[in-house]
Amino acid sequence: MVTATLLILPVFSYLLGSVPFGFLIAKSKGIDLRKVGSGNIGATNLGRALGGKWAKICFFLDLFKGALPMIAAGLLISGEPNQSQLWLWLLCGAAAIAGHIFSIYLKFKGGKGVATGLGVVLGLWPYYTICGVICFIIWVICLYIWKYVSLGSILAAAMFPIILSIEIAIVESWSFYQLWPLIAAAGLLTILVIYRHKKNIIKLINGTEQKAL
């Protein structure tokens, strides 16, 4: 029963992840966010269009749509997952991130998936949650020092699988053999975040990247 429900949950995760909160907020103000600034529908571009308050609201809404499916899956498992359940749990997170990046409501276009990815990470308790909090702190520190959202996102993503590996090594009841899918997924998430920021990387190198407000 649990496995059958987990097979359905990724569909819900994708549909929820597809909800373009940044686009909808801007649209309610008469702005098409795809035609403003970078054209991205995420919190950073929304902040440039409408201000920091709306950027924060969008960030937490995008985070929520990543966290909710993961929390739901965790409640269904309610115990130490076997590897099949672990893969299905990760699939829920992948579906939510894919929904944000390839939104069915925006003709399969969307944002970079960082906030939704953070929600996925925080919602996969306890395996990803502590790492997610540490990476979020890294992001905040980078943003405070250098004022670049993209740089903070890239550095935090790069540190994620490293911190996770250290955590698994430290916790005696966890083993690399049992939890290797988590490390593999963390590595893929890192690659995805960096790839989605390829234009930002070029701008950072050229010194043309726009700083946060």
pLDDT in tens, 88-120: 999 999 999 999 999 999 999 999 999 999 999
Taking only the tens place, the pLDDT of each residue in 43-69 is 999 998 999 999 999 999 999 999 999
- Per-residue pLDDT tens, the chain, 213 aa: give them: 566 677 799 999 999 999 999 999 999 999 999 999 888 999 999 998 999 999 999 999 999 999 999 999 999 887 888 888 899 999 999 999 999 999 999 999 999 999 999 999 999 999 999 999 999 999 999 999 999 999 999 999 999 999 999 999 999 999 999 999 999 999 999 999 999 999 999 999 999 998 886
Contacts of 135 by beta carbon, 8 Å cutoff, 6+ apart: 118, 121, 156, 157, 159, 160, 163
DSSP state, 79? S
Q: What is the pLDDT of residue 149?
A: 93
Q: What is the pLDDT of residue 1?
A: 57
Backbone angles phi, psi at 109, to 5 degrees: -120, 160
* Residue-averaged pLDDT of the chain: 94
Q: What is the pLDDT of residue 3?
A: 63
The CA distances from residue 158 to 9, 57, 89, 192, 201, in Å, are 28, 26, 22, 10, 14
Q: What is the pLDDT of residue 78?
A: 77
Q: What is the pLDDT of residue 213?
A: 63
Q: How many CA atoms lie within 13 A of 115 on its CB side?
A: 25
Which pair of structure tokens corresponds to residue 199? 């234009």
Query: From CA 140, how far away is CA 41, in angstroms rounded?
Result: 21
